[in-house]
Amino acid sequence: MKTKFYKYQGAGNDFVLVDNRDLSFNHQNPETIARICDRRFGVGGDGMMFLQLHDGFDFEMVYYNADGNPSSMCGNGGRCIVAFAKYLGVIGEETNFLAVDGPHYAKISESGDWVSLQMIDVDHIDRDGDAYVLNTGSPHYVRLATGLANKDVYHEGHAIRYNDTYRAEGININFVEPATDGYFVRTYERGVEDETYACGTGVTAVALAMALREGQTGHIVTPIKVLGGNLSICFDYEGAKFSHIFLEGPAVKVFEGFLEV
């Protein structure tokens, strides 16, 4: 069976997308998803998404990690599927859609390549030694670092992700270094099991953790540089709960083609 696919990227976080409103693609097959996401034997991507219909929403986002397994929320994936939905004519410049962690609101630029995605509220941040641990739709570990440009993120991230505390459920590992304007972040992602060029829920977790660390309150805007470009997180924090959290950045169609499934 031939299936039309689209490749999108958001700050270097890249995804294979399929319009599955007719439910013609049976995605309950981890091996097929993993093969498509393989960068040598498939299309290549950090994950694969299916745009489907769902009552009460403009669409549903069904997301799989590159290993073929269902994933928790992907922030840059969410921004890319919003751009995809606009490209397909499913939405205009605003949308309410359903993801694995619940409903999301997003707005998109008229040009269709800049998306602002509302993330879930966060009311709790744990500590693990000098690191911060929180869930922004996916679980994240945030640790300050120095010399981040030269850090061995793969091996250090892999060691934390597979330690006794996190091995069973998995966690995404974010290393963060203060920059002139905001922060520089590098992330090891579970499911991909490697460093990615960007992680939307990860930079969101970093922004919230750093606001807590710095004692910031009120309306906060945090610019973050990742390997694939620049993102921005804005949110409100009054000392108890982080709310009105928006992840903003580029979402661009790279190419399209057909898969033989």
Each residue's pLDDT tens digit, 14-62:
999 999 999 999 999 999 999 999 999 999 999 999 999 999 999 999 9
Asked if residues 196 and 224 have their Cβ atoms less than 8 Å apart, the reply is no
Whether 80 sits among the annotated catalytic residues: the reply is: no
- Between CA 54 and CA 64, with CA 58 as vertex, the angle to 5 degrees is 65
- The stretch 167-181 carries a mean pLDDT of 96
pTM: 0.96
Helix axes 200-214, 75-88, angle to 10 degrees: 130
- The stretch 57-72 carries a mean pLDDT of 96
The pLDDT value given to residue 261: 82
- Between CA 6 and CA 153, with CA 79 as vertex, the angle to 5 degrees is 95
- The stretch 229-241 carries a mean pLDDT of 97
DSSP 121: P
Catalytic residue among 37, 74, 80, 234: 74
Domain locations along the chain: 2-119+251-260, 126-247
**Phi/psi at 200 (5° precision):** -65, -50
Q: What architecture is domain 126-247?
A: Roll (3.10)
126-247: same fold as 2-119+251-260? yes
Question: In this model, does residue 81 exceed pLDDT 90?
Answer: yes
Which helix (H) or strand (E) is 88 found in, with range?
A: helix 75-88
In 3D space, the residue among 3, 21, 90, 17 whose CA is nearest the CA of residue 252 turns out to be: 17
DSSP 68: S
- The stretch 196-202 carries a mean pLDDT of 98
Question: What is the SS3 assignment for 203?
Answer: helix
CATH 3.60.20.10 is the classification of domain 2-119+251-260: no
Q: Which tokens in the block code for residue 132?
A: 């911060």
Whether 199 sits among the annotated catalytic residues: the reply is: yes
Helices (H), 89-227: 153-161, 200-214
Catalytic residue among 37, 80, 199, 234: 199
